Amino acid sequence: MHNIGVVTVADVARANPRIYAALDNRQADHQATVVEVGGKIAMQHVSILIDPRSSHSYIHPKIVGSCSLEKSNHGKSWLVQLATGIKGKVSEVVKKCPLMLNGLPSQAGLNVLPLGSYDILIGMDWLEVHQAKLDCYNKILECIDDESKPQLVK
């Protein structure tokens, strides 16, 4: 008998990092599959785009600097394809970055990448860990917090 490996959607997404959402000009209201929420990092207000089609989560380099966040190098740099077709190089990460999503305390591993008009993009890596359900019509995120309690983020 042969062991057949199971490949999940998450495995495929991680193999080909992509960001599908338009990141310029704050277009979340015109994109059916994303939700924009406010948040905070180190008491600084940030704009957060939740994009379930993005394979990974990201933070804009200007926020890393202005919040004095500690970043480290990835062992190997990689490319992510943006919605525009342009590829961005990712070589640094902020591990376990503390953040608030409209009052929900959490932390995330955030790859450093310029994000147009957004400060943070939350992708499938965070959404999967937090068992997220995204209501794109009403722009509501239902998930579990870091203590496994159900939460709503609007």
The number of distinct structural domains making up the chain is 1
Q: What is the mean pLDDT of the chain?
A: 84
Any domain includes 3: no
What range does the domain containing 77 cover? 26-127
CA gap 114, 130 in Å, rounded = 25
- Tokens 């939350």, residue located: 122
At 90, list the tokens.
């990712």
- The one-letter amino acid at 144: I
Instruction: Identify the pLDDT of residue 104.
Output: 92
CATH number at residue 57: 2.40.70.10
Does residue 6 sit within a domain?
no
Q: Judge whether residue 80 has pLDDT over 70.
A: yes
* pLDDT for res 3: 44
Q: Taking a C-beta distance cutoff of 8 angstroms, is the pair 135, 142 a contact?
A: yes
Domain assignment present for 81: yes
Q: What is the band of 107 on the pLDDT scale with cuts at 50, 70, 90?
A: very high
Residue 2 within any structural domain of the chain: no
Neighbour tally for 149: CB within 10 Å? 8
